[in-house]
Amino acid sequence: MSNFTKGEWLVEQCDLPITESEYFNIKAVSGGCIAETYNEHDANLMSAAPDMYNHIQQDIEILQRECKNHVLGSYQLRHLLLRIKSKKALLSKARGES
């Protein structure tokens, strides 16, 4: 998964003693803080990022294999290629390339 922090990411709820508000750490299971946020929904989304990235990569591989079963120029092949392009764009965005 490129140069991202390896392994599973978890959300850890923390309390700020002075303000009595809470924030959330996104931490790698292997150790180290990845990010902090005050929004629990954002924290959950961030912690799911490695799984989603890997899932999209697997989808691309499956779609590329499926392309071999279709005739060049067919509607089905064009549809698969558009799906691959869309998924590759998501991964590029995650890597900060677009």
pTM as predicted = 0.84
pLDDT at 61: 97
pLDDT at 4: 87
Consecutive sets of 10 residues in the chain, 98 residues long: mean pLDDT of each?
82 81 90 91 95 97 94 91 97 91
Q: Identify whether the C-beta of residue 25 lies closer than 8 Å to the C-beta of residue 33.
A: yes
pLDDT at 21: 79
Dihedral (CA of 33, 39, 41, 42) sign: negative
pLDDT at 92: 95
- The domains of the chain are located at 9-94
pLDDT at 67: 94
